[in-house]
Amino acid sequence: AQSVTQPDIHITVSEGASLELRCNYSYGATPYLFWYVQSPGQGLQLLLKYFSGDTLVQGIKGFEAEFKRSQSSFNLRKPSVHWSDAAEYFCAVDLGSQGNLIFGKGTKLSVKP
Amino acid sequence: ETGVTQTPRHLVMGMTNKKSLKCEQHLGHNAMYWYKQSAKKPLELMFVYNFKEQTENNSVPSRFSPECPNSSHLFLHLHTLQPEDSALYLCASSIRRPRRHEQYFGPGTRLTVT
């Protein structure tokens, strides 16, 4: 069955440090890929998306992600984390013509001052 | 109003009550979705509507009843809920045709069943 794995449940980084959140998917073809962020008590905000083309995609708030077909991965990165980045991050995959998303379980990011 | 809005933001209901959640999208999209987000599970897709027609029902109990009167509005009617139905209910919308696009989410309704 198709699945999305975010292996890190909780990550803590210092403000100003770099960040990488991991996402792996299980699917035969190249899906559409997304990263969303959710602040406490809020809905999900789209950070970035990959449909095709350049495998390094830029998003909002200084985030980027790289699609690696050989590793079935779509990791999220940010060179310098700000305290306001503390939130939960979800990787999602759109598998096909139905356009339905499958989400990972999320990674909660804490930022130390 | 812009984006996707949901009302109410918080709802407490007894197991014998009937209530409705409302979602409205101001983005000109043609597909709408209901998701359930509970503490111990990933986001679960409940219902999908394309052009007002329900195209997916992910084995959701009948105590949840969706309604999509037009492409901008989506309701989730609730009755005789169980405590395990307490969760954050998220609405989303997107363009489904002619091509798939990303989904945009509302802020959610926090539901507590007592």
Mean pLDDT of chain B: 91
Asked if A74 is an interface residue toward chain B (Cβ–Cβ < 8 A), one would say no
Is A43–B105 a contact, with Cβ atoms under 8 angstroms apart?
Answer: yes
For A5-48, how does the pLDDT look when each residue is reduced to its tens digit (9 = 90+)?
Answer: 999 999 999 999 999 999 999 877 778 999 999 998 889 999 99
DSSP assignments along B48-65, one per residue: EEETTEEEEE-S--TTEE
Asked if residue A111 lies in contact with residue A86, where contact means CB atoms within 8 angstroms, the answer is yes
Is B108–A104 a contact, with Cβ atoms under 8 angstroms apart?
Answer: no
| B contact residues 45-84, partner A, Cβ 8 Å cutoff | 45, 48, 55-56
CA distance B94 to B57: 17
Q: CA-CA-CA-CA torsion for A23, A64, B93, A85, nearest 10 degrees? A: 90
User: What pLDDT does B6 receive?
Assistant: 97
Grade residue B88 by pLDDT with cuts at 50, 70 and 90.
very high
Pairing mode, if any, of strands A87-94 and A32-38? antiparallel
User: What pLDDT does B58 receive?
Assistant: 75
Asked if B107 is an interface residue toward chain A (Cβ–Cβ < 8 A), one would say yes
Asked if B25 is an interface residue toward chain A (Cβ–Cβ < 8 A), one would say no
Asked if B11 is an interface residue toward chain A (Cβ–Cβ < 8 A), one would say no
User: Exposed, middle or buried by CB within 10 Å (0-12, 13-18, 19+), for B19?
Assistant: middle
Confidence check: pLDDT of B5 > 90 = yes
Which residue is associated with the tokens 């169980």?
A: B82
Q: Which among A73, A66, A85 has a CA at the least distance from the CA of A17?
A: A85
The lowest-confidence range among A18-22, A108-112, B3-7, B14-18 is B14-18
Is B56–A100 a contact, with Cβ atoms under 8 angstroms apart?
Answer: yes
Is B102–A49 a contact, with Cβ atoms under 8 angstroms apart?
Answer: yes
Asked if B113 is an interface residue toward chain A (Cβ–Cβ < 8 A), one would say no
> Region B38-61: what's the mean pLDDT?
84
Confidence check: pLDDT of B1 > 80 = no
For B56-66, how does the pLDDT look when each residue is reduced to its tens digit (9 = 90+)?
Answer: 777 899 999 99
Is A43–B42 a contact, with Cβ atoms under 8 angstroms apart?
Answer: no
Question: 3-state class of A113 per DSSP?
Answer: coil
DSSP assignments along A48-110, one per residue: EEE-SS-SEEE-GGG-EEEEEGGGTEEEEEESS--GGG-EEEEEEEE-STT--EEE---EEEE
Grade residue A96 by pLDDT with cuts at 50, 70 and 90.
low
